Amino acid sequence: MQQTLSVRHLLGIKEITKEDIQLILDTADNFKEVINRPIKKVPSLRDITVANIFFENSTRTRLSFELAEKRLSADVLNFSSSSSSVKKGETLLDTVNNILAMKVDMVVIRHQSVGVPWFLARNITANIINAGDGTHEHPTQALLDAYSIKEKFGEVAGKKVAIIGDILHSRVALSNIFCLQKLGAEVMVCGPKTLLPKYIAGLGVKVSSDVKEALQWCDVANVLRIQLERQQMKYIPSLREYHLYFGITKEMLDSLDKEITIMHPGPINRGVEMTSDVADSHHSIILNQVENGVAVRMAVLYLLAQKV
């Protein structure tokens, strides 16, 4: 079995192999056991310093990385652009180089612009982990989603996963498509035609604008938020109308002739992409995803620290 990753950065799922993904998921199994012990901390990243550099808002990813780093005994720096000298005109590269001058080994970066993690990987020596670059990739979200599917079903291969919602603006959708396909799952994307990118069928996924068809087809529905903050024009008439045609309700799930599993990367807009009784139902593994995120990020940090 492969013991180390084939890469020294985690930039996107597109760039890593099936074996890399399996190594991360297997390593996460060990860390999931660790974080459920009374003593949750291990010394694996002692003497490693990690900077979490977030230029966009985050709750789950940021806290999850910070907790994963602390559970591994790393020294942790947290940077938020809203309270930094970026506001005084400093460039991204100057900001990052100043942080690195403090002897930082690894950088976790979230940025609104596509490609920033790749730009940093070309220009600085630290290991880079992409925590979400614009509408492009969010690799650790896809890994924790795959881990959660594997945990629920025993394997990802052969499972049918429908990704439902704002596919056009979603980095979660693209990373999930790459990750699930590498692991042998079938993928459907479903949403209003205006929120389905034209290139998407070329990725080998099924495409639908009929949410009932998607739910009837899938074993797992990964439901995404409408990302109004990234929309430069009106792609849907209103959130109310979106909910009417694409919102997942308990009645829809009850009308299926099988049980399906509901996932969501968060943050949820209750009453838009799904109703509260779906989000909080026995179908939902949304909080399991959050729990698994810590173990998966511990695995990524641990494996990349071997490349420092």
CB closest to ligand CP, residue no: 61
Residue with tokens 């604008």: 209
> By rule CB under 6 A, what string of x and - marks binding of each residue 196-225 to ligand CP?
------------------------------
Residue placing its CB nearer to ligand CP in the complex, 191 or 265: 265
The verdict on 267 binding ligand CP (CB under 6 A) reads: yes
The verdict on 266 binding ligand CP (CB under 6 A) reads: yes
89: left (phi over 0), alpha (psi -120 to 50) or beta: left
Q: Which of 206, 212, 195, 200 is nearest to 246 (CA)?
A: 212
Instruction: Identify which range of 65-73, 114-122, 157-165, 259-267 contacts ligand CP by CB under 6 A.
Output: 259-267
Classify residue 259 as exposed, middle or buried by CB count within 10 Å of its CB (0-12, 13-18, 19+).
exposed
As measured in angstroms, the least distance from the Cβ of 59 to ligand CP is 4
As measured in angstroms, the least distance from the Cβ of 60 to ligand CP is 4
User: Which residues have C-beta within 8 Å of that of residue 270, sequence separation ≥ 6?
Assistant: 276, 279
Residue placing its CB nearer to ligand CP in the complex, 141 or 176: 141
Is the preceding peptide bond at 267 cis, omega within 30 degrees of 0? yes
**In terms of DSSP H, where are the helices of the chain?**
18-35, 60-71, 92-100, 116-123, 139-153, 171-182, 211-217, 239-246, 250-255, 276-279, 286-305
Among 27, 49, 52, 61, binds ligand CP (CB under 6 A): 61
Q: Is 100 helix (H, G, I), strand (E, B) or coil?
A: helix
Residue placing its CB nearer to ligand CP in the complex, 176 or 275: 176
Among 22, 58, 216, 288, binds ligand CP (CB under 6 A): 58
As measured in angstroms, the least distance from the Cβ of 141 to ligand CP is 5
The verdict on 141 binding ligand CP (CB under 6 A) reads: yes
Among 69, 265, 274, 300, binds ligand CP (CB under 6 A): 265
Residue placing its CB nearer to ligand CP in the complex, 104 or 108: 108
147 touches 25 (CB < 8 A): yes
Maximal C-alpha separation, the chain: 59
Residue placing its CB nearer to ligand CP in the complex, 132 or 247: 132
The verdict on 60 binding ligand CP (CB under 6 A) reads: yes
The verdict on 175 binding ligand CP (CB under 6 A) reads: no
The verdict on 134 binding ligand CP (CB under 6 A) reads: no
Q: Which of 150, 143, 171, 161 is nearest to 294 (CA)?
A: 143
Residue placing its CB nearer to ligand CP in the complex, 252 or 292: 292
- Count of residues engaged in binding ligand CP, rule: CB under 6 A: 10
Among 59, 113, 255, 306, binds ligand CP (CB under 6 A): 59
Residue placing its CB nearer to ligand CP in the complex, 59 or 97: 59
Q: Alpha-carbon torsion 228, 232, 235, 236, what sign?
A: positive
Give the tokens for residue 288: 């399991």
The verdict on 115 binding ligand CP (CB under 6 A) reads: no
Give the tokens for residue 57: 């808002």
Residue with tokens 């945990």: 151
Enumerate binding residues for ligand CP (CB under 6 A).
58-62, 132, 141, 265-267
